[in-house]
Structure 1
Amino acid sequence: MLQPFRLALALALAWGTVAHAEPSPGGRVRRERPVTVAGTAGEPLPVVHIAQDSPTLLLFPAPIQRKSLTFDASRIRVLDAGERSVIVQAVSDLRKDEQQEMGVFFVDGRAPARAAFVLVTDPAEVDTRIDVQRPEAPNTACQPIQAPAPKPEDFVLLGYVDNEGVTTSISQGQRPMQGLALEWLTAFRGAGWILADMKIVNHSNQSAWSPQDAMFLGRVGVPLRARLVTTKPGPIAPGEGRRVLAVVEVPKTEADLIFTLEVRGDDGRRFTIPGVRFPMPTAGDAR
C-alpha cells in the first residue's frame, strides 16, 4: 500500500502528465515548468499560479526544512510536505489583485538559503508541477554566505529560539593582529547554536582581505568549523571594516561556553579572538 506522501506525489505527477492535453475542471490550462528562486534579497520572487480545483507540486533540488515552511493557512492549503517537495492548493481562488507569499529554507544553508514564491490565481492557467531551480552563487567555494532576508517567525519555526530565549555577551576592541583589528563583538547563544557577530577592521597599510572560514577552538574537544555570513560580498578594502558573523550548531549544555574564534582569510592572514564567552541559557517557564 502506498504511503500518503507517495500517493499524493503520484497523483500530482499524474495530474501534471495529462495537463498538457486537457484543461483543468475550472477551464484553466495546466502547466509544468521550471522556476528559479531569487538569488538575493533584491530580486523579484518567482510567480506560481495556483487554484482551488488543482493541486500544485513544487519539487526542490535539495532537502528543505519542512518546519520552516511559511504561508497564510487561511488562504493556502499545504496538502503534503516532504523532504524535497511541497504540494499546495488555494483554499479558494485568490482575488485578481491578491498575492500570497510562501517560503521555505533549504537544509544545507547554502546561498540562496531560502526559496520563496509569490502565489497568485490566473483565470487562464494553473501550475501543476514546478521544478524549483537554485542559482549558483558566484565563487561559492571561496566566498562566505551573504545574509538572506529572514523573517521573525523563521527563527522559532526552525527551532533556533525556544522558551529559554537567547543569551549574549559583549566584547570591545582588541589589539591589532596581522593588520586586522576587532572593533566590537557580540556573542549570542540560542537553542543548539552559538553566533559571533563582529566588526573586523582591515588596516589602511594592508592589502584587501577576504574572510574565508572560521573555527571555534575550545579547551577540549575537536574544533568546530563555523559558517561565515557577511553583510556585503567581496574583500574588505584597506582602511575599511566589515560586519562578519560566524555561526555553528552545538549540543545543549548547562554551562557557559568559552571559545577562541579564529577567522582565516584568502591571503594567509588569520585573526584570532580569544575568550569569546557564550553564557548559559536562562531557564524559561514553559507554561
Structure 2
Amino acid sequence: MFAPSIAAFLMLLLAGTSATAQTCPPPGEAEGRCIELTADETNEVSEVQISPGQPTTFDFDSDVRADGLTLENRERFKVAPGIRLITLVPSEKLRGEKPNEMTVCFEDGAAPDCATFRLVVHPAIGERQVTIFRHARPVDSVQAELKKSYEENARLRAEIQQLRAERDGPDGLTGLLASGMMGEKGIPCSTVRNVERPGNALTARDVTTCRARGRMAVRFDLKNEGTAPWTAQGAKLVGPKGEELEGSIWPQKPVLPGEPLTLYIEVRDEDVRTTGPFVLKLWDADGLRTVTLGSVTFPALTEGPGP
C-alpha cells in the first residue's frame, strides 16, 4: 500500500490542471507543510526550514518552467528539478549560514507567475515535504484590479491632502470665521421647493441650500417608502452649463424602510456667481435606485472667493 504522501501525489498528477482549485487542509490534518499562493500576494516570501543532509521536496500543483528555477548558492545544494517536483539536499557547508532564497516561475504565464521561498537552515530539523497550491488568475484580470486599486489610492490620497489642508486651521465656529467662509451676516441659507423628479427611489422633503465662500451644501430629509434599505453611494451637482461638482455625503448610513434620514451633500465651488439652477443626483451602490432633485438653487454671495 502506498504511503499517504505518495498516494496524494499520484492523485495530484492524475487530477491535472483541476488541482489548481485545491486549498490547504486545516493544520494538523496534512502530512508536511502546505502553502497557498494567490495573485494578490505576488511579493510575499514564504519561509521553509531546511537541514544539511536532509532532502526537502517542493510539490507544486502547476508546471514549473525548465529555466524558471533560481537558487542562491546553488553549488551548496544537490538539486533534483522536475516539472512539478523540486528536491533540495543542502550540503554541510550551509551550517550556520544566513538563509538562501529559491525562486520558481510557472509555465502557464498566469499570476502569480513566480514564487519565492526563504530557505532557513536548521542544524537538525528540516521540512521533508512542502506542498504548494497556486490559485492562478489571468494576468489581464490582475492588471485590471491593480489599475482600479491605483485609482482608488489616488482618490484617497487627494482626500487626505484635502483633510490635512483643512486641519491647518481651527475647527468649529472659529474655523468658519478664520477661513472667511462666514462673515458678520453668517452663512446664507434658503428653502427650495418643487425640486423632486418623477421616478425617484425615495422621497425628498424640507430641502435647504446654504452657501459659503468656496462651499455649497444641501440639507434634506429622505423618506424610504420601499421595503429595502437604501444607502447613498455617490452624489453630484450638475450645473446649468453641464458642469459637474462631486459631492461628499454625510452621514454614510442607510435610509431604513419607512423611516426618514437627514442627509447633507457638500460640494466645493469657488465661483461665487454660480447660483444654479442645479440638478442634484444621488445613487446607491448598484446605481439602480437613484434620487434626482431639479431646480436646486443657492443663495448668491457678494464677496469674492477666499484664498
Q: TM-score range by the shorter chain?
A: 0.3 to 0.5
The TM-score with structure 1 as length reference comes to 0.44
Q: Which has the higher helix share?
A: 2
Q: Which has the higher strand share?
A: 1
The TM-score with structure 2 as length reference comes to 0.41
